[in-house]
């Protein structure tokens, strides 16, 4: 995905939404998917955990950028 393609995808969302990416593991992948999710801060996150988790009670909306293997998480 190019910067122009990513900008076009992101322009479909409100400009004040926080943008999150998948965390942990090694290396880099191409961006495969961009979606809106509701998240909440993960207060007891360990070093290997992301700072946020999907909210089951509403949470706050964000834009999630997923890589090639994001569906495995």
pLDDT band at 34 (very low <50, low <70, confident <90, very high): very high
3-29 tens-digit pLDDT: 999 999 999 999 999 999 887 767 778
Query: Closest Cα to residue 16, out of 40, 36, 42?
Result: 36
Domain ranges of the chain: 3-72
Which residues, 6 or more positions from 3, have their beta carbon under 8 angstroms from its beta carbon?
none
Q: Taking 70 as the threshold, does the pLDDT of residue 72 lie above it?
A: no
pTM for this predicted structure: 0.79
- The beta strand positions in 4-55, using DSSP E, are 18-21, 31-41, 52-54
37-61 tens-digit pLDDT: 999 999 998 888 889 999 988 999 9
Query: Closest Cα to residue 7, out of 65, 71, 70, 62?
Result: 65
- Kind plus residue range of the DSSP H or E element containing 10: helix 3-10
């Amino acid at each position: 995905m190019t910067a122009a393609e990513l900008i076009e995808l992101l322009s479909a969302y409100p400009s004040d939404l926080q943008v999150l990416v998948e965390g942990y593991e090694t290396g880099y992948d191409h961006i495969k998917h961009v979606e809106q999710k509701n998240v909440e801060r993960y207060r007891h996150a360990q070093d290997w955990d992301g700072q946020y988790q999907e909210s089951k009670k509403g949470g706050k909306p964000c834009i999630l950028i997923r890589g090639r293997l994001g569906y495995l998480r």
